[in-house]
Structure 1
Amino acid sequence: MKRIVQFNILLFLLAGIISGCQKDLPKHETKLKIVSMDKLSYFHSEIVPVYKQSLKEIPSLFVHHEIKGKQILVECIINGVSFRESDHSKQKIGKMIVWVDGKKNSEVTSAAFIIKGLSPGVHKLKLEVVKLNNEPYGLTKEFIVNIPR
C-alpha cells in the first residue's frame, strides 16, 4: 500500500512538471531579414568555410586523451599540417612522434591512436609533430597519465 501511494505521488509530480513546461514554448519568428549583396561583400573577407583551410594558416595542436584500463586513447586536432603524403592541398606534411617517459616510443601518421602496453603507474607522454625528415614544426603537447594497477 505504501509503495502505491509513493508511486502515485511520483506520477503526480512528474505529470505536473511535464504539463508546466508546455506553456513556455517559444513563438515562431515570422519576420524575414533580407540583406543586399553589396552589404555581404563587406564581410566577405571574414567568412571562411570550415572545410577549407588556408595555406598560410599557422599550425596548431590540440590533444584530448582518455585512459581506458591499460590503454590510452589519444585524439588530436592538428591545423595546418597533413599526415597524408599524397595530400597536395597543403604544403606542410608531417608525422607525430610519441615519447613515453623521455624515450621515443613510436611514430604515428594519424590524428587518433591508442597507446598500449604501459606498465601501471605514472607516465609522462609527449606528442611532437615533425616534418617527414624529423625536423620539428614546434608543435608539442606533454601530459601525465596514471595507469591503474
Structure 2
Amino acid sequence: MKRNIWMLTLSIFVISMMTGCQNDVPKPETNLKLIPMVHASTYKLDSIPVLKQNSNEIPSLFVQYKAKGNKIMVECILTGISFRESDHSKEKLGKMLVWVDGKKYQEVSTAAFIIKGLAPGNHKLKLEVIDLKNQPYGLTKEFMVNIPK
C-alpha cells in the first residue's frame, strides 16, 4: 500500500513538472513581414502590387527615406503608374530618375532602392517619375539629406 502511494505521488509530481515546464509557443502572426532595406539589394526585387491600380487613377507619389552611414534608403509609394513593363493592363508605365545635387545619379524601376557612396555633408535629392519615352509625368519629390562625418 505504501508503495502504491509512493508511486502515485511520484507520478503526480512528474506529470506536474512535465506540464508546468512547457514553452508557451506564440501563435504565428498573420501580418506580412518586410525585408529590411539593408538586405533589399541582395534580393531580386519583383514589383508586387499593393493596391489595385486603375488607369483612371490620379497618379501620386509618397516618399520615405532614412540615412544610414553613407547610404540613403528610399521607399516610394506610387499610385496610378506601374514600373512593370510586362503589365499591359495599365496605360501608364514609367520609371524614376534620381538626381543628387542637381546631377543625374541613376534610373530606377523599383519602388525601394538604396543610394550609395554619398560624401559626408548635405545633399539635395530629387526623384522624378517619367514615362518609358523619358517624358515627365509631373511627379517629383525633392528633399535634403545629411550624411554625417
Distance 2:81 2:95 in 1: 9
Higher helix share goes to which structure?
1
Per the alignment, residue 101 of structure 2 pairs with 101
TM-score (norm 1): 0.65
Per the alignment, residue 124 of structure 1 pairs with 124
Q: Tell me the alpha carbon deviations over residues 91-145 of structure 1, each in whole angstroms, 9 at most, x when there is no partner.
A: 1000000000001011000000000010000000000000011100000000000
Q: Which runs of 5+ in 1 are unaligned?
A: 1-49
What is the one-letter code of the residue matched to 1:52?
K
Per the alignment, residue 77 of structure 2 pairs with 77
Q: Which runs of 5+ in 2 are unaligned?
A: 1-49
Aligned residues: 100
CA RMSD of aligned residues (A): 1.0
Distance 2:87 2:106 in 1: 22
2:65 counterpart SS class:
strand
TM-score (norm 2): 0.65
Per the alignment, residue 67 of structure 1 pairs with 67
Distance 2:106 2:85 in 1: 18
Distance 1:100 1:53 in 2: 30
Distance 2:56 2:104 in 1: 31
**Residue pairs, 1:1-149, within 5 angstroms:** 51-149=51-149
% identical equivalent positions: 71
Distance 2:96 2:120 in 1: 24
What is the one-letter code of the residue matched to 2:103?
K
Distance 2:71 2:92 in 1: 30
The structural deviation recorded for 1:53 is 2.0
The structural deviation recorded for 1:52 is 2.1
Per the alignment, residue 44 of structure 1 pairs with none
